[in-house]
Amino acid sequence: MARQLADFLGRWAIDRKITNSIGPDGRLNGWAEFTTDDVGLVCTEHGTLQMQGQPPSAASRRTLWRTDGADIAVFFADGRAFHHFDPTAPRASTHHNCPPDLYLVQYDFSDWTETAPVWQTQWRVSGPRKDYTMQTHYRRRHDP
C-alpha cells in the first residue's frame, strides 16, 4: 500500500516499551494525534509513563511531519530537522545523529491494511550515557 502523509491524520492508540541496558525499563500507554497545520501534520503524543521503580508520570511530545518528495520528513516541535523516511516501504530505516549519541529507527508498516491501519517504530539509541531500545505500536482509534 502506498502510504502518504494524509494517511496518518487522526488519533492512534500507542503502546511503548523501553528496554534500557543501563537504567530502568519503562512503558508508556496513551495516544498520538496527527492534526493538520499550514504545511503538513503535527503529531502530538500524550500518555502515562511508568519507569521501573518510579511512580507513573504524564509524558508528551510533539513533532512536525512534512512531505519531502516521496518521503516524510519529521522535525522537532521547534522546526529543527529530526529524520525522514519512505512511507511506501513495508519497512523503512533511518537515523538521527546527535553527537555523541546516535538514534537509529525502523518504521514497520508490514501489518498496515486499509481497514486496520497499524504500524510500529523501533528506536535503538546509543551513546556514552545512553543504551536503550524503544518500541512503539500504533493502532488507529476511531473514538472522538
CA distance 20 to 42: 28
pLDDT value, residue 105: 97
CA distance 57 to 45: 14
Distances (CA, A) of 110 to 51, 92, 116, 120, 133: 29, 10, 12, 9, 20
Four-way CATH pick for 5-140: 1.20.1740.10, 1.10.8.50, 3.20.20.120, 2.40.128.20: 2.40.128.20
Contact predicate 102/126, CB 8 Å: yes
Q: Write the pLDDT tens digit of every residue in 6-23.
A: 999 999 999 999 999 988
- Does residue 54 have a pLDDT over 80? yes
Q: Write the pLDDT tens digit of every residue in 82-98.
A: 999 999 999 999 999 99
Predicted TM-score of the model (pTM) = 0.92
CA distance 96 to 84: 9
User: Comparing C-alpha atoms, which of 72, 73, 137 is closest to residue 109?
Assistant: 137
Contact predicate 94/102, CB 8 Å: no
- Please identify which residue in the block is written with the cell numbers 546516535: 102
70 torsion bin: left (phi>0), alpha (psi -120 to 50), beta (else): alpha
Beta bridge partners of 130: 127
